[in-house]
Amino acid sequence: MSASISRQDWEQRAAALQIQGQAFVAGQYQRAVSGETFDCVSPIDGRVLAQIASCDQADAEQAVANARAVFDSGVWSRSAPAKRKKVMQRFANLLEQHAEELALLETLDMGKPISDSLAVDIPGAANAIRWSAEAIDKVYDEVAPTAHDELGLITREPVGVVAAIVPWNFPLLMASWKLGPALATGNSVVLKPSEKSPLTAIRIAALALEAGLPAGVLNVLPGYGHTVGKALALHMDVDTIVFTGSTRVAKQLMIYAGESNMKRVWLEAGGKSPNVVFADAPDLDAAAEAAASAIAFNQGEVCTAGSRLLVEASIKDVFVEKVAAALKASWAPGHPLDPNTAVGALVDTTQIDTVLRYIEAGREDGARLVLGGNRVMQDTGGLFVEPTVFADVNNSMRIAREEIFGPVLSVISFNDFDEAMAIANDTIYGLAAAVWTADLSKAHRAARALRAGSVWVNQYDGGDMTAPFGGFKQSGNGRDKSLHAFDKYTELKSTWIKL
């Protein structure tokens, strides 16, 4: 049982791991065409875990040509949905059977607590694959309401070759949100994991093959964004690019598409999500615990992190104290391989420098530091930051406007409903928002007023595969999860027949 695996056991397993760092093309692991590699460094202790193939344009050419040939062969793209379902169910089962190995790779690679990798990332990835698989032989096409002597068929076809470019904060989970619907609808995929977290993407390619996915349907190209990522985004034979990552890179991908073949571009980007607590919240302790988790879970490296906590002025002081107490009690940084750790290491030195710079900016801009503010556990060689709370923030400060992507909370107070909604929506982002109130009408009015793709009422971060996930405004377009995700991976065709 995973729960009984001690830190020492995990460390022994880590020492014994054989880590694969090569690209996966046409059903085989291979070196980058250039032969170049880069170090995969663990943020837990600075150890080099593996040499990773540094793919570039030559690898993109090879993988896309291969993906196209397999797509055109029809071996996957024209196979019966029920057959694709079976293969993907086996793939999901294999992810579960290898859950401990995959969780260990994820934690070593990007620093999140092993208990989260085991409870959230790997089961979530298997679930995403299985959900899409199980749906695909239950969706029907349409017949248009035409005149009597005509027949109008509205059908969906796979788009062809999909390039999926994904981030490092939930490496396998974000990849699976793309792979599930992309593969279920019959496409060929070239997956580019983040250079900061390539290990699980590389590993699962072999599991997909073992499950029966035909060679070439899933290819994995590790490497940097400005080399292989850019090559895929500019490629004339990639039909669709699906992306999760920063708003900066998302905008760049739209430019690349315009400069090349007008490939479809679907983007899941950044956030600065408001968590709005009214004085009539049904349970202030529960709200405070959720606010703590919303900024500390996954070290704050979450696109939907509740990084702006908006609190009604009459309860501000008392509520900030409760949040600080909850963070102190339950969210201390610790060794990621210790099963009791709640907050792990930040992904790399660039990221920890960014987070520490924002903490400095909060101080400079006049916010009041209530908790944390420091790098800790430096003797481990790892990259750890205390959960940090700033009060007396106003929405024009840098720590309120910019996505920090670390455990840094900005508390802003408001006086009434309209002011709360105005502050909440005063952001370039629109990924998520939460509202806490016992007043049903107020909750619904807030849900309508908040310009965000997900709104939570009296909870933070709810949802599962049945509901779409994605952003308004500069948080992106299109949606992951649910049947709506299939729209990104299919073209609509109208066939008009004269009878």
Site for ligand NAD in 110-169 (CB under 6 A): 165-169
Q: Work out how close the CB of 424 gets to ligand NAD at its nearest, in angstroms, rounded to a whole number.
A: 18
Site for ligand NAD in 267-286 (CB under 6 A): 268-271
Which of 226, 251, 368, 448 is close enough to bind ligand NAD by CB under 6 A?
Answer: 226
Residue 223 vs 339, nearer CB to ligand NAD:
223
Q: Distance of CA 410 to CAs 69, 314, 353, 426, 473, Å?
A: 51, 18, 18, 14, 21
Considering 61, 142, 210, 268, which one is annotated as catalytic? 268
Residue 268 falls in the annotated catalytic set: yes
Which amino acid type is present at position 366? G
Q: Work out how close the CB of 205 gets to ligand NAD at its nearest, in angstroms, rounded to a whole number.
A: 16
Instruction: Please report whether residue 435 would count as binding ligand NAD according to CB under 6 A.
Output: no
Site for ligand NAD in 395-434 (CB under 6 A): 403, 405, 431
Structure tokens that stand for 307 in this block: 């990084």
Instruction: Please report whether residue 59 would count as binding ligand NAD according to CB under 6 A.
Output: no
Residue 268 vs 312, nearer CB to ligand NAD:
268
Packing angle of the helix pair 417-425, 440-449 (nearest 10 deg): 30
Q: Work out how close the CB of 176 gets to ligand NAD at its nearest, in angstroms, rounded to a whole number.
A: 12
- Applying CB under 6 A, which part among 64-72, 74-82, 145-153, 220-228 lies near ligand NAD? 220-228
**Distance (Å, whole) CA 5 – CA 222:** 30
Residue 257 vs 309, nearer CB to ligand NAD:
257
Instruction: Please report whether residue 471 would count as binding ligand NAD according to CB under 6 A.
Output: yes
Tally Cβ neighbours within 10 Å of residue 67: 27
Structure tokens that stand for 90 in this block: 């086996």
Residue 339 vs 471, nearer CB to ligand NAD:
471
Q: Note whether 277 and 292 are within 8 A (CB).
A: no
The DSSP bridge partners found for residue 240 are 162, 264
Q: Where are the beta strands (DSSP E) in 127-259?
A: 142-143, 150-158, 161-165, 188-192, 218-220, 240-244
Tally Cβ neighbours within 10 Å of residue 487: 16
Which amino acid type is present at position 46? G
The DSSP bridge partners found for residue 390 are 369, 410
Residues that bind ligand NAD (CB under 6 A): 165-169, 174, 192, 194-195, 224-226, 229-230, 233, 244-246, 249, 252, 268-271, 303, 403, 405, 431, 471, 475-476
Q: Which residues are catalytic?
A: 268
